[in-house]
């Protein structure tokens, strides 16, 4: 299968490390004009360096609707949007009674509102072209439970999957597909590294034994799934959730 993106403008959020970086670099390697954003300027600079300047980076808080609109005015029309920004915002699992309103909202802002605002901003350009791809990166936590025990994270990722399905039906008549990649546990960033080490050897082995492939995946595995959803070969696939988790 020949997947290429020459002439396509791609925007990847949360691209300072992990999945977002791997996705941005994969698009650049396949000929796309890539824009990458994150709140982490230092990590973005490393993504740009690793791309040999093929990825254009800028800082952006995707939960800020006005800033998102201004960013899309600067980039111009986007053909492929990857809503990867998300995560737990430095939080750890705690009892429900210990969760503050701000803790809850912070995770929803980046994982759900960010995906909504970004999609809202790029859709007019996609409609004008009669084509487009939106790929949301959720999590196995959105289909089941979160290994972290963070209530807002599991809830936000489930909400993002619901948004994916709803937008697929709204935007399909305009030639725009909307799909979702749900990664399993991957050691791809500082947060997942802390989670991995916190499990201890017994917990690590238990996690691996619950995976059909009996091994962890990589950020490139997630990028490969995104490449497929973004490709011409996936033109009649929309509203779908692809679990990339080694098999459960």
Does the structure show a pLDDT above 90 at 2?
A: no
As a whole number, the mean pLDDT across the chain is 95
Structure token pair of residue 153: 């994270």
Quick one: pLDDT at residue 87? 85
Closest CA to 124 of 62, 81, 61: 81
CA dist., res. 143 & res. 118, Å (int): 23
- Using alpha carbons, select from 21, 30, 136 the residue that is nearest to residue 82: 136
Q: Which whole number is the average pLDDT over 151-179?
A: 97
pLDDT at 189: 86
Asked whether residue 245 is assigned to any structural domain, the reply reads: no
Q: What is the CATH number of the domain that holds 222?
A: 3.40.50.720
Three state DSSP letters for 163-229: HHHHHHHHHHHHCEEEEEEEECCCCCCHHHHHHHHHHHHHHHHHHHHCCCCCCCCCHHHHHHHHHHH
In a domain, 241, yes or no: no
pLDDT at 1: 64
Number of domains in the chain: 1
This model's pTM is above 0.85? yes
For 192, list phi and psi in degrees, rounded to 5: -70, -30
21 assigned to some structural domain: yes
3 found inside a domain: no
Q: Is 177 helix (H, G, I), strand (E, B) or coil?
A: strand
Give the structural domain span for 134: 9-189+218-234
Domain assignment present for 194: no
pLDDT by residue (tens digit) across 98-130?
A: 999 999 999 999 999 999 999 999 999 999 999
Q: Closest by alpha carbon to 67, among 20, 133, 106, 113?
A: 113
Structure tokens at 202: 């017994």
pLDDT at 93: 84
List the catalytic residues: 153
The verdict on residue 96 lying in a domain is yes
112 is a domain residue: yes
Domain for residue 248, yes or no?
Answer: no
Checking if the pLDDT of 185 tops 70, the result is: yes
């Amino acid at each position: 299968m020949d997947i290429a993106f020459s002439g396509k403008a791609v925007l990847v959020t949360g691209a300072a490390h992990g999945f977002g970086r791997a996705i941005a670099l994969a698009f650049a390697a396949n000929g796309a004009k890539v824009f990458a954003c994150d709140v982490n300027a230092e990590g973005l600079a490393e993504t740009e360096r690793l791309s040999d300047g093929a990825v254009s980076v800028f800082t952006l808080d995707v939960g800020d609707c006005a800033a998102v609109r201004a960013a899309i005015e600067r980039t111009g029309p986007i053909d492929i949007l990857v809503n990867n920004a998300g995560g737990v915002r430095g939080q750890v699992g705690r009892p429900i009674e210990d969760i503050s309103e701000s803790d809850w909202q912070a995770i929803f802002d980046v994982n759900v509102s960010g995906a909504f605002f970004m999609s809202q901003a790029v859709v007019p350009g996609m409609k004008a072209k009669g084509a487009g791809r939106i790929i949301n990166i959720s999590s196995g936590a959105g289909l089941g439970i979160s290994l972290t025990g963070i209530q807002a994270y599991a809830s936000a990722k489930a909400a993002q999957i619901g948004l994916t399905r709803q937008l697929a039906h709204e935007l399909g008549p305009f030639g725009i597909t909307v799909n979702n990649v749900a990664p399993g546990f991957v050691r791809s960033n500082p947060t997942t590294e802390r989670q991995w080490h916190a499990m201890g050897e017994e917990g690590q082995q238990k996690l691996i034994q619950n995976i059909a492939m009996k091994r962890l995946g990589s950020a490139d595995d997630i990028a490969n799934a995104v490449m497929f959803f973004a490709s011409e070969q996936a033109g009649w696939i929309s509203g779908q959730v692809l679990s990339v988790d080694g098999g459960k």
